[in-house]
Amino acid sequence: MGALYLIRHGQASFGSQNYDELSALGHQQGHAVGQALKARGVSPEVVVSGTMQRHQDTARAALAAMALDVQMRIHAGVNEFDHENVIEVAQPRYADKAAMMSEMAASGDPRRAFQTFFQDAVSRWVGGNHDAEYSEPWSVFKLRCVSTLDELVQLTPAKGQAVVFTSGGFISVVCAHLLGLHDTQAFTINWTLANAGITKILVGRDGLHLVSINEHGHVEGANPPLLSYR
């Protein structure tokens, strides 16, 4: 059987002008996931990354830690959904990031305030009743993820390994698809995915087998701790 590993990117730069840039912690997480993969004997013939900076920087950090010189394939299909569009449709004044961060900061716990708002915004998007308002409706995003999974399966060597650096939304849709979950349950998975977490899928003649979701002992058990979710 082949093995397909989905790696969530390291921590991005929440609250900054360039969210897509890894934080200092995110770079450390990329290195840690590379070490973890190497320690378990993963030596992929195929490495895929999304087009986003946080995907590619996580991939570079991991590959450096694994001492691997493998050409990285870039595939937009594993990109995250446009979270800024989902936010701005739910609350148009948050097109101004400074205004959003100011309001979140006034709550006393900006990360928690953002998470509460963002969960509601995503639920509205997933609900499907306002598709025309979004640049990529939920149904289109879901189809993109499932179609891209088929392509990744084709890239995975029959007895080898492929490692894909992606985002939580893509991983959540893939896992929900393989588990037969309802759309509303997909993001129940997403909210608990750790940065630089590992999800493993076995690829066999009889189909796909979801072996693990969100393995993150390599960041949770690190010293100092490297665990983060956003």
Residue 43 is predicted with a pLDDT of 96
Q: Do 48 and 75 share a domain, yes or no?
A: yes
pTM of the entire structure?
0.92
pLDDT at 86 over 90: yes
Q: Indicate the pLDDT class of residue 104, thresholds 50, 70 and 90.
A: confident
Q: Is residue 226 part of a domain?
A: no
User: What values do phi and psi take at 206, rounded to 5?
Assistant: -90, 10
Q: Do 12 and 71 share a domain, yes or no?
A: yes
Residue 15 is predicted with a pLDDT of 60
pLDDT at 16 over 70: no
Q: Is residue 229 part of a domain?
A: no
CB 156 within 8 A of CB 3: yes
pLDDT at 172 over 90: yes
Q: Do 130 and 16 share a domain, yes or no?
A: no
Residue 96 is predicted with a pLDDT of 85
User: How many domains are there within the chain?
Assistant: 2
- What average pLDDT does this structure show over 150-160? 96
Q: Do 144 and 124 share a domain, yes or no?
A: no
pLDDT at 112 over 90: no
pLDDT at 17 over 70: no
Query: Three-state DSSP class for 160?
Result: coil
Domain that holds residue 151: 2-80+136-220
Least confident range of 28-32, 113-117, 150-154:
113-117
Q: Do 66 and 160 share a domain, yes or no?
A: yes
pLDDT at 222 over 90: no
Q: Indicate the pLDDT class of residue 74, thresholds 50, 70 and 90.
A: very high
CATH number, domain of 207, equals 3.40.50.1240
Nearest to 215 by CA among 171, 153, 157: 171
Q: Is residue 228 part of a domain?
A: no
